[in-house]
Amino acid sequence: MRLHALSAGLVLALAAVPAAPLFAQEDKAPPPDVQMTWGVSIPMRDGVNLNGTLYRAVGATAPEPCVFTLTPYISASYHDRGMYFAANGYVFMTVDVRGRGNSGGTFTPMLQEAKDGHDIVEWFARQPYCNGKVTMWGGSYAGYNQWATAKEFPKGLGTIVPVASPKPGVDYPMRSNLFYGYDVTWLTLVSGKAAQDDIFGDGKFWASNFRRWYTSHAPFATLDSIAGLPSPIFQEWISHPTLGPYWDAFNPTGDELAKLELPILSVTGQYDGDQPGALALYDDHMRHGTEAAKAKHFLVIGPWDHSGTRTPRAEVGGVTFGKASLVDMNALHKAWYDWTLKDGTRPEFLKDRVAFYVSGEEAWRYAPTLEAVTASTQTWYLDSVASRANDVFASGSLVRDRKGVGKPDSYVSDPLDTRSLRLHDGKEGGGYLVDQRAELLGDAPRLVYHTAPFEADTDLAGFFKLSAWIEIDQPDTDFQVDITEIKADGSSLALSKDVMRARYRESLHEGKLVKPGAIERYDFHSFDFMAQRIAKGSRLRLVISPINSMYFEKNYNAGGVVAQESGKDARKVRVRLYHDARRPSALVVPIAAKSSVPAKP
């Protein structure tokens, strides 16, 4: 959210369909001029006034549907969107959240936006230039606050389009109850009234702060002070390390979702850091919404990173995707608004309720539900010979038949070990999706397993699952699981990941320390969504490793309050993974369904 981006021609190029611009064709009239009105004052119910910047086509006289974005990033940052929508039949307004920019009040991240969003909708709907129909635009933070506004049920809200929306507690400011160092970076960005973009964007400055914290083995709770921004908000967040009432207050309840009847278009990316939140909110609505409401909820998952969910780029993380990935997101929003607010036709791009892009095939597929993206699953069992699974060149295996003959594999992790800094030496390159330097470090603690080469191109789509029988000799530790395609030439492509803190192996709502020496099944069922054609001759690589990074909250394995622990609490942990006949460890691989809408010949 910095929290960590239709009709024919919407997709710039589809298979066998030539690229065609959606607007600004030579035989069309130029878009109308746009009038900007700065400093619009919007009253809230408690007497605080928010600041808006209004955009409307010059000469427009008839009331039109109105679109607004509510942002902590200073409203001028969305000037280009205001110009676009005002030139295409809508009144647009960018609004500074309370406490930021020129708005009054005090900024309290995420928790304030529900009531303020409601009041903006109702105020907007009463203006003479508005026809009473209001919607919202935006991604990341401005995607989340669409859900927050919708749960307040303002009468004028006609639809929402939440893009790359986090779900507080699920993917920000923590994932699986593990906090990020980035939390302090983001809180610096939104501190005070003015823009802090230069500080936020200084990667060397933040790397230096994280490195000083990491090498000093100071408690994670001191990171804000080390970075120069003691933050009550950061301290409040880390004092709530489990899901529960605190985080529930930010999000729509099941009862609220059951009453929600708006048409909704959700958008996220395969490499979007807020994908877990966006899909969790989508799943919540699918679980609690009425059948009529769910039929009006569409989902798009492209091969995009966080910012790319708003402005797609062909190159992401060192990988170049096909032209079909370059969806014109302004045009998609306009087409959606035309359909839901102006009685237009459904955007041609939305051929079924779920659109997902299969990388490698470089084409869009469709499904009626997110579950229907996956046609079937394959189970691959972990195994190894002579308990050697610690190296990519002498790894364990992923096999289809359940042999159960291997002895347990193991690694030892020392939380005082800082060798991971070798990966952050300022020489990073090649893109994070294709970077396998961490796996090639021969002395790093981890377990590695490979499949045999695939005998044919195989399309995967959906969510991996891993069940692993694990024994640790300390009361707690952290795990990361990475799944990668290893191509015939040895190059790699990151597919999906999951993380887990051992004490939350049974529930994210309550920690339960591990009895050292106990062998338990750990179910990793929170992998990122992926859709990828695995090429003939490629293999899948599964890596299980500790989380020991300057970018994550450090778990010293002692079983105390993790954010308060320091190097003096550090305990080495031995991790054993079992894969015998009685305790099979297995990876479940999702096989992609064919598109519900056949491609045009």
Which residues on neighbouring strands pair with residue 522, listed in sequence order? 468
Residue 513 sits at φ, ψ, to 5 deg, of: -60, 150
- Position 11 pLDDT exceeds 90: no
Contact 250, 110 (CB under 8 A): yes
**Residues 139-170 pLDDT 10s:** 999 999 999 999 999 999 999 999 999 999 99
Nearest of 306, 381, 357, 355 to residue 460 by alpha carbon: 357
Over residues 180-200, mean pLDDT: 96
Over residues 211-220, mean pLDDT: 98
| Confidence at residue 428, expressed as pLDDT on a 0 to 100 scale | 56
Cα atoms found within 13 Å of the Cα of residue 279, Cβ hemisphere only: 25
Mean pLDDT lowest among 239-253, 275-289, 413-427: 413-427
CA 598/CA 593 separation, integer angstroms = 12
Contact 169, 176 (CB under 8 A): no
| Confidence at residue 9, expressed as pLDDT on a 0 to 100 scale | 31
**Yes or no: is domain 375-592 CATH 1.25.40.80?**
no
CA 406/CA 381 separation, integer angstroms = 11
| Confidence at residue 446, expressed as pLDDT on a 0 to 100 scale | 96
| Confidence at residue 29, expressed as pLDDT on a 0 to 100 scale | 66
| Confidence at residue 478, expressed as pLDDT on a 0 to 100 scale | 98
**Residues 517-563 pLDDT 10s:** 999 999 999 999 999 999 999 999 999 999 999 999 999 999 999 99
Q: What residues have CB less than 8 Å from 150, skipping those under 6 apart?
A: 157, 160, 252, 260, 262
Contact 479, 178 (CB under 8 A): no
| Confidence at residue 394, expressed as pLDDT on a 0 to 100 scale | 86
Average pLDDT in the chain: 93
Question: Which CATH number is correct for 34-171+251-369, 3.30.300.20, 3.90.1150.10, 3.40.50.2300, 3.40.50.1820?
Answer: 3.40.50.1820
Reduce the DSSP state of residue 339 to 3 states and report it: helix
| Confidence at residue 27, expressed as pLDDT on a 0 to 100 scale | 47
Q: Which helix (H) or strand (E) holds 96?
A: strand 91-96
What are the structural domain ranges in the chain?
34-171+251-369, 181-238, 375-592
Reduce the DSSP state of residue 486 to 3 states and report it: strand
- Position 16 pLDDT exceeds 50: no
CA 410/CA 122 separation, integer angstroms = 60
| Confidence at residue 26, expressed as pLDDT on a 0 to 100 scale | 41
601 — pLDDT class (breaks 50, 70, 90): low
Q: What residues have CB less than 8 Å from 545, skipping those under 6 apart?
A: 411, 438, 444, 445, 446, 447, 479, 480, 482
Task: Judge if the upstream peptide bond of residue 63 is cis by omega within 30 degrees of 0.
Answer: no
| Confidence at residue 600, expressed as pLDDT on a 0 to 100 scale | 75
485-488: list long-range contacts, CB under 8 Å, 24+ apart. Answer: 485/532, 485/534, 485/535, 485/538, 485/539, 485/540, 485/541, 486/450, 486/538, 486/539, 486/540, 486/541, 487/535, 487/537, 487/538, 488/453, 488/535, 488/537, 488/538
Q: Label residues 316-338 b or e (16+ Cβ within 10 Å = b).
A: bebbebbebbbbbbbbbbbbbbb
CA 87/CA 33 separation, integer angstroms = 7
CA 58/CA 88 separation, integer angstroms = 12
Q: Tokens 């796996």 identify what position? A: 439
Over residues 408-433, mean pLDDT: 86
Reduce the DSSP state of residue 365 to 3 states and report it: strand
User: What is the dihedral sign for C-alpha 114, 115, 118, 120?
Assistant: negative
User: What is the dihedral sign for C-alpha 341, 344, 349, 352?
Assistant: positive
Q: What is the DSSP letter of 99?
A: T
Tokens of 375: 């046609």
**Residues 298-323 pLDDT 10s:** 999 999 999 999 999 999 999 999 99
| Confidence at residue 443, expressed as pLDDT on a 0 to 100 scale | 84
Residue 46: what residue type?
D
Residue 525: count other Cβ atoms within 10 Å of its Cβ: 12
**Residues 344-395 pLDDT 10s:** 999 999 999 999 999 999 999 999 999 999 999 999 999 998 668 998 988 9
- Position 430 pLDDT exceeds 80: no
Tokens of 16: 């066998």
**What is 116-181 written as a DSSP string?**
HHHHHHHHHHTSTTEEEEEEE--BTHHHHHHHHHHTT--TTEEEB--BS---BTTTBSEETTEEBT
Tokens of 68: 């607004």
Over residues 415-440, mean pLDDT: 84
Query: What percentage of the chain exceeds 90 in pLDDT?
Result: 88
Nearest of 109, 87, 85 to residue 97 by alpha carbon: 109
| Confidence at residue 594, expressed as pLDDT on a 0 to 100 scale | 97
Contact 233, 221 (CB under 8 A): no
| Confidence at residue 25, expressed as pLDDT on a 0 to 100 scale | 36
Reduce the DSSP state of residue 288 to 3 states and report it: helix
- Position 20 pLDDT exceeds 60: no
Q: What residues have CB less than 8 Å from 511, skipping those under 6 apart?
A: 177, 241, 242, 501, 503, 504
Q: What residues have CB less than 8 Å from 291, skipping those under 6 apart?
A: none
Mean pLDDT lowest among 28-42, 106-120, 229-243, 323-337: 28-42
**Residues 90-123 pLDDT 10s:** 999 999 999 999 999 999 999 899 999 999 999 9
Tokens of 367: 């499904």
Burial (CB count within 10 angstroms: exposed 0-12, middle 13-18, buried 19+), residue 203: exposed
